Structure 1
Amino acid sequence: MPPLPAPILDWFATRGWGVRRHQLEMLAAARAGEHALLVAPTGSGKTLAGFLPSLAELIAEPVEGLHTLYVSPLKALAVDVQRNLLNPIAEMGLDIRVETRTGDTPSDRKARQRERPPQILLTTPESLSLLISYPDADRMLGQLKTVIVDEVHAFATTKRGDILNLAMARLQALSPNLRRVALSATIADPEAYQGWLAPDADAASVRLVHGDPGAEPHVDILVPDGRIPWAGHNGRYAAREVIKLIARYKLTIVFVNTRAVAELIFRDLWAENDASFPIGIHHGSLSPEARRKVENAMATGRLRAIVATASLDLGIDWGDVDLVVQMGAPKGSSRLLQRIGRANHRMDEASEAVVVPGNRFEYLESLAARDAVEAHELDVDLFRPGGVDVLAQHLMACACSAPFAADAMYDEVRSSAPYAGLPRAEFDRTLGFIESGGYALRAYERYKRLTLGPDGLYRVSHPRMAAQHRLNAGTIVEAAALNVVYGKAGRGRGRSFGKVEEWFASQLRIGDSFMFAGQVLEVTGFDGPDLFVKLGKGDPRVPTYVGGRMPLSTNLARRVRGLFNTPERWAEMPPDVCEWLDIQRQRSSLPGMDDLLVETFPADGRNYMVAYGFEGRNAHQTLGMLLTQRMEKAGLAPLGFVGSDYMVATWSLNPVSDPKPLFSPDVFEDELAEWIAGSPFLRRAFREVAVIAGLIDRVHPGQHKTGKQVTFSSDLIYDVLRRHEPDHLLLTAAWTDARSKITDIGRLAGLLERSQTHLVHRVLDRVSPLAVPVLLEAGKERVFGAADDALLIEADALAEAAMRLD
């Protein structure tokens, strides 16, 4: 038997290509009926390797109906894959329909897809979850042969991964011979992903296929004029140098880490863009039309550069991209490698990338990330049990499709890897929650979403609840947002630019201007969910978004410590960084590989303590709250704290003479529980799990629910449950999320344990060089109720004091 059908072989031949080894191995896995995980570098034909078996099967045995389901973490990736599949299919003359189904797909097309599905459907985890909620799901999905999960590393360990894995368990139940395939370029622990992909979590049932290594990427670190700022995190100071890079290359993607920084960098680049290079902007808050316009311009070569967030860093195959610029440190080697892969999307050509560090610590981080990429060292992903809020959403989706028996559904759920260890009691609690809302809420009819019939089957209590589920389903809970619309309130809606978060919009007044979608917009009015604008001018504000910053990975933190402890490498660093490290070594100490360096010093009538933990921003923010709480009890009169990825700083009226007791791990869990219970974090975590679990609706048909309304509903229910049912399923889920996601409890606990044997205390007469960056951020976090907690520090004076050796 030939390895591939003649149309595919002929298509390869006309391009002078040969079928790669890993593509043939994926084909062999398909013919053996095996699940498969392909780990191959960017540009190696990874996506084509996933689809080749499906194309071969559809050529050999044409079918009407859905044959292959492709799941992508990004809408843009699904659209890009469709574009890259349609041309080969047309050139081969195949009668195979390929369509996308995402949140951007018009409703009439979605309805038509359910009536007459294409042979290949490209979708996202959220859209797939909705698809299985329809009564005709078994008809549409019952003959499915293959599900392909692309860029599996991007979401397998998250709640999006939970909902996708549960959906695959449902697909497997509808089509028992379904074959699962996953693709990735950046996986450090393939065996863990084999277990995640396999039905019944049997990793041995998944064939692991490795692609051949590609050309080594070339990564530079940009340091304009040899100087790097003391503080900052986005590299904006280098805008003119980045424009010079754009001039030298054909097509550049300028990656940033947050949406707010995307708007800032876009504005900075245009301010330096004397040659008027066409530059676009792309992030998740822009309207679908705006994103598609930029994507098409990029694909057709009408742009020289695009400023983008993670909305474009996965799998997009634009072969003309020949440079990637990362503004600010990447926070992880896997993320940097993934982004580098967007340049020269070909296996045999080196990808070109430039990293622009935001400050001196970020220079070390950038160097560490480059070292890790050169060493092929990736960040290890940590898997955890699936969330009960996601399980509740999935069970509701299944009930919307058809009634189910609890025993059969429990067995099906346990075949999903994140829920393989789910106790029956927890499953029953989740079912009971959907059935009644729980003990404290069972008197309210609106929470009785499922009904157990006399036939022993659970079914949706009323059709309107199925409609509500489909309106509100999803695992990404973003802040409430307003539509940014061209026009004036009461005079009709013009085109939509996208969305800004409600809390930012609440600070705007008519006549104010802000930067959005790369333009200056002036507010003309408000109307319910819409913020009306016209083109404006002047010095605009820039929308900021809740959350968004990515924490420093453990692997990269370790490598940064290594650079502190390798003086022989300092000579390759910029002079100001080398001097910074050398004077720190003379005036204080450098953080050892396992030490917790703690510095204490006076400044401006206050007393500072700086601890270098290297455990990421979330852990250090939590540590700041813990330290100031303990300092208050010790009578030290703390005034405030600030944390970064590398360290935490506190300031107080009285000096810390012995820091070790402040870092004690004793009663840490009790103190953390007390603090979280009294902080906004637990309420915020409860709001998220309540929305995901379907307890609180974000959307009603034809109605706009403001963020304040959602928060009020959430807080009201939270208070009721805390008072009357403190062990409620969702309170437990919120506590789990707050501990792991918000506070990064694991890394913080390790830091406290280490402090008892490896704490190095340096008493200084003034600020140290290493402490300057974090103190320049001082004042962003405060201790509630403390007097005089404002602190303004002039950067040059602070740096001068730190770098003096006298």
Structure 2
Amino acid sequence: MTTLPQTFVDWFASKGWTIHPHQQDMLDAADAPSLLLIAPTGGGKTLAGFLPTLIDLHHTPRDGLHTLYVSPLKALAADIRRNLTTPVTEMGLPIRVEDRTGDTSYTQKRRQRADPPHILLTTPESLALLTSYEDAPRIFKGLRRVIVDEIHALAESKRGDQLMLALARLQTLEPGLKRIGLSATVEDPQAIADQLAHHPDPTLIINADPGPEPDIRMLTTEELPPWAGGGAKYAIPAVLDQVRQHKTTLIFHNTRAQAEIFFHNLWLANEDDLPIGIHHGSLAREQRERVEAAMVRGDLRAIVCTGSLDLGIDWGDVDLVIQIGAPKNVKRLVQRIGRANHRYNAPSKALLVPANRFEVVECVAALEAVKDHDLDGDPKGPGPRDVLCQHVLLTACAGPFDADQLYAEVITAGAYRTLTRPQFDACLDFCATGGYALRAYDKWQRLKQTGGTWHLRDPRASRNIRMNMGTIMDTDTLKVRLKHRGGGKPLGEVEEGFAATLTAGDTFLIGGQIVRYEGLNQMTVEVTRRPSDKPRIATFMGTKFATSTQLSHRILRMFQQPSWPELPQHTADWLALQRQVSKLPEPDRLLIESFPFEGRCQTVVYGFAGRNAMQTLGLLLTQRMEERGLDPLGFVTTDYALLIWGLEPLDDPEPLFEARNLREGLETWLKGNAVMKRTFKQSATIAGLIERNTPQSRKTGRQATFSSDILYDTLQKYDPDHLLLDITREEATRGLVDFGRIEEMAARIQGRIDHLHLDRVTPLAAPLFLEAGRVPVKGAGQERLLEEHADRLMAASGLDGLAPEPERPKWRVPW
């Protein structure tokens, strides 16, 4: 067992602490090539990760970079720096701790490259940039440890793939490098361990005592949840009452727009003038920092927020978390719960607030999943090749490289260990020439091979490559400022598409304020305050969560119970009525209901595949229905169901759901769909084909879209097998349209379909008629309606009996 130096023992004692067992385990295993610590929130994970570093530097003071800490958030890196400064200062350790993120000044970044601190706290993007410099071998010389915090949050995105490729590069520079991953919420520890590992070395997993079960339940309200909608306005009196009873409450929402609406309504009802703030990613940095500082001081009683406060920042006296709307994902819910009572062995306290009647069922299912420790998550696919292309270009920025050595390095990174050599060579060829259809253009001739090594054709290209690196594809946004001579106060950002819809005098919400649009000035939205007007809402894209596969399956299993004592009586009665007049969906069967309503033939498909997949299913099914002459007119979706309305009844749904037909329909639909162009734009930007930033300026979203659309159409016509088109097809199927969930549904039901013909709307279908976001189908059905409408007009005016005047021949006069 590794013993703590006396200096550390005395410091622990001065705090009234003793070392936790998992912290001791991390010390004892400090020489392992790779470690993954899973410990509850408030369990001292960060200190466990840093203890070996602090002790090593205490025993052997040295210059240069010793430990690299990587976090998904800039704010988290800054928070860790503040927390690390305390033990370093109080024990008098000869250690310099600094952070390096997008907020770090240019002067400090240059100094850090010349004289690295002992501990550098950074993000995946800043680390990738550091590895791209010619002096990277000197910067990282002697690096002993890399700590990846909140690794679960990175492992699920391309940022995690980017990070693991950067770690593979560091391991080449420093073969003895040790890797440490820290997380509180991991559904599959072995899968995360495999991603963290430097293959073939394994990762040792250390599980801490999970501590007491969280105190989590559904909020009781006097008013019943509505049948549809996502705002949960009905619960505001009960939420305010909870805020009064606690020191600091975090009120989480799934989207930024929902957070803005709820904050506005909460503030209107806040008759006690309780100090309440709002925090999300579209707000100005200055405003976010003011809210964060007020939270640390304990000045705020509540903060309405989104995923921007999901991760492990210690925000002081937070003693209650409220989740507005169904959490959609159990792992995310557990992460958010952990923000309350951020102390070891102190139970977290949380309340769930369903936004509508169906979300009551989903919230109860989520509560049971938390109790059962049943976290959700989908298996990680192979490493994305657009990220690999970017990594190849960044490697070239650092100097000449050998292709064989780089390939050997890449396949040591978790998600890329199954990458074949032909796949790698295709990425290398794309980076070098742009591919077959583009190799004639100098713009994309970026790499050249000389004497067996690859290097940049023009060393000056490294500047543009670095300016355009990264995997976070920001929604195209415009800054919002209060109108003032010389530049007013920044408020945040709104989407470019939303700004294009505004005319002078329009009002919208941002940062909890109602503002009036005055005009666009040099790509900045200028506004004035208008507290009395009813606002529109800025259409923040943010992240639109879909209910996870595991949570959907749990809901379907709940439906099979004979009764539901765990549900509120009003919801249990609703499900019982559905069972009486129709039936409830089953896990291994597909329920389809057909009934007439408002003169239309209605069809409801209870697929439980998540919102993105159900939206895609709606597009595919209406396309097939159009081909069969059923004249669909439109559809609307939720996470659990799809409602289609049309002019002709659906008699036999089975051919529509045959897996091969669905796949063929998807490929046909994708070829001419905007989804493909949107996905191509994202992948082409990550891979380096499209540059958003230049030394002179940043392209607007419209300019970038115009450029990518031209490239997409060109490649489709002249090089349909181009690498980026192949990547785009993979990404579109896996991401935006979530076709994998549809295939999972088809495999689950295996053709077992219950098609019920009913004479009225069913209880479970009724809320679908209240959903927003209806999608019209422009086809034969719309034309038929127009013809019928014209006939009715003619009949009402007495013109239906008159034959149209024949067209007179157009004679040509010969003279």
For the criterion TM > 0.5, the same-fold answer is yes
CA distance in 2, matches of 1:718, 1:177: 44
Provide the C-alpha distance between the structure 2 equivalents of 1:445 and 1:611, rounded to a whole number of angstroms: 52
CA contact (8 A) 2:469 2:686 kept: yes
1:461 maps to which of 457, 460, 469: 457
CA contact (8 A) 1:233 1:329 kept: no
Partner of 2:193: 194
TM-aligned CA distance change 1:681 to 1:600, over 3 Å: same
Cα deviation digits, residues 369-398 of structure 1 (max 9, x gap): 110111111113411111111001111111
Decide whether aligned partners of structure 1 residues 498 and 462 sit closer, same or farther in structure 2, where only a CA change above 3 A counts. Answer: farther
In structure 1, what is the equivalent of residue 660 of structure 2? 666
Give the TM-score taking structure 1 as reference length: 0.95
* 8 Å CA contact 1:640, 1:779 repeated in 2: no
1:545 paired residue number: 540
Match of 2:385 in 1: 388
Q: How far apart are the structure 1 equivalents of 2:103 and 2:261?
A: 26
User: Do structure 1's residue 486 and structure 2's residue 482 form an aligned pair?
Assistant: yes
Q: 2:713 aligns with which of 719, 722, 733?
A: 719
Aligned to 2:769: 775
Aligned pair partner of 2:277 in 271, 277, 280: 280
1:39 to 1:786, Cα distance in 2 relative to 1, 3 A: farther
Mapped contact 1:664–1:755 kept (Cα < 8 A) = no
Among 405, 408, 414, the residue aligned to 1:408:
405
Unpaired stretches in structure 2, ≥5 consecutive residues:
786-815
- 3-state SS of 1:99 partner: strand
Task: Assess, with a 3 A threshold, how the Cα gap between structure 1 residues 703 and 785 changes in structure 2: closer, same or farther.
Answer: farther
Equivalent position of 2:793 in the other structure: none
Q: CA separation in 1, counterparts of 2:738 and 2:505?
A: 42
Mapped contact 1:640–1:789 kept (Cα < 8 A): no
- Tell me how far apart the structure 2 counterparts of residues 662 and 124 of structure 1 sit (CA, whole Å): 46
Q: CA deviation at 1:746?
A: 2.0
Question: Which amino acid in structure 2 is aligned with residue 478 of structure 1?
Answer: D
Q: Conserved in 1, the CA contact under 8 Å of 2:632 and 2:781? A: no
Alignment of 1:318-357 (within 5 A): 318-357=315-354
Shift of 1:174: 1.1
Task: Determine the structure 2 residue equivalent to 1:430.
Answer: 427
Letter in structure 1 aligned against 2:688? G
Amino acid corresponding to residue 21 of structure 1 in structure 2: P
Q: 2: distance between equivalents of 1:284 and 1:547?
A: 8
1:127 aligns with 2:121: no
1:263 aligned residue: 260
**Which residue of structure 1 lines up, in the alignment, with residue 808 of structure 2?**
none
CA deviations on 1:6-34 (whole Å, 9 max, x unpaired) are: 2222111112211011101111111x343
Change in Cα spacing, 1:2 to 1:662, as seen in structure 2 (3 Å) is: closer
Does residue 567 (structure 1) correspond to residue 562 (structure 2)? The answer is yes
2:679 maps to: 685
For the 8 Å contact 1:215–1:347, the answer to whether it is kept is: no
Matched, 1:646 2:640: yes
Tell me the equivalent position of 1:706.
700
| Deviation of 1:775 (Å) | 2.2
- Aligned: 1:623 with 2:617: yes
Cα deviation for residue 41 of structure 1 reads 1.2
- CA offsets 1:360-419 (integer angstroms, 9 cap, x no match): 221111111110111111113411111111001111111111211111111111111111
1:152 counterpart = 2:148:
no
**Matches of 1:596 and 1:167 in 2, distance apart?**
45
Amino acid in the other structure paired with 1:465:
A
Please say if residues 523 and 531 of structure 1, whose CA atoms lie closer than 8 Å, have aligned partners that are also in contact: yes
> How far is 1:789 from its partner?
11
Task: Please list the CA deviations of residues 488-524 of structure 1 after superposition, one character each: whole Å capped at 9, or x if unmatched.
Answer: 4xx4333322221111111122333221122222333
CA distance in 2, matches of 1:50, 1:779: 46
CA distance in 2, matches of 1:379, 1:647: 21
Residues 429 and 34 (structure 1 numbering): CA distance in 2 closer, same or farther, change over 3 Å? closer
Check whether the contact 1:188–1:381 (CA below 8 A) recurs between aligned residues: no
Match of 2:18 in 1: 18
Distance 1:123 1:575 in 2: 51
Aligned equivalents of 1:790, 1:406: Cα separation in 2:
61
Quote the Cα distance in structure 1 between the aligned partners of 2:654 and 2:732: 26
Question: Which deviations, in whole Å up to 9, do the C-alpha atoms of 1:631-664 show, x marking residues without a partner?
Answer: 1111110011112111111111011122222222
Find the aligned partners of 2:774 and 2:67 in 1 and give their Cα distance.
50
Count of matched residue pairs: 784
Q: Secondary structure at the match of 2:397?
A: helix
Structure 1 residue 790, shift from structure 2 partner:
14
1:787 shift after superposition: 5.1
Question: Corresponding residue for 2:174?
Answer: 175
Please state how far the C-alpha of 1:667 moved relative to its aligned partner. Answer: 2.8
One-letter amino acid matched to 2:413: S
Residue 756 of structure 1 and its aligned partner are, at CA, apart by 4.5
For 1:237-316, list aligned pairs within 5 A: 237-316=234-313
- Note if contact 1:471-1:700 (Cα within 8 Å) is conserved in structure 2: yes
Mapped partners of 2:461, 2:524: distance in 1? 27
Q: Distance in 1 between matches of 2:200 and 2:157?
A: 17
| Cα distance change of structure 1 residues 108 and 617 upon mapping to structure 2, 3 Å threshold | same
Match of 1:515 among 509, 517, 523: 509
Give yes or no for the alignment of 1:80 onto 2:79.
Answer: yes
- Retained in 2: the 8 A contact 1:639–1:789? no
Q: Which amino acid aligns with 2:318?
A: V
Cα 1:374–1:445 shift into 2, 3 Å:
same
1:778 CA displacement? 5.8
| Pair 1:207–1:790, CA change in 2 (3 A) | farther
* AA at the equivalent of 2:331: S
Query: Which one-letter code corresponds to 1:63 in the other structure?
Result: R
**CA displacement, residues 711-753 of structure 1 (integer Å, 9 cap, x when unaligned):** 0000000000001110111100000001111222222013224
SS at match of 1:265: helix
Q: Distance in 1 between matches of 2:707 and 2:219?
A: 49
> Structure 1: which 4+ aligned runs deviate by more than 3 Å?
753-757, 784-791
1:66 and 2:60 aligned: no
For the residue of structure 2 that corresponds to 1:354, the secondary structure is strand
One-letter code of the match for 1:712?
Answer: F
| Letter aligned with residue 431 of structure 1 | L
Q: What is the CA-CA distance between 1:779 and the residue it aligns to?
A: 5.4
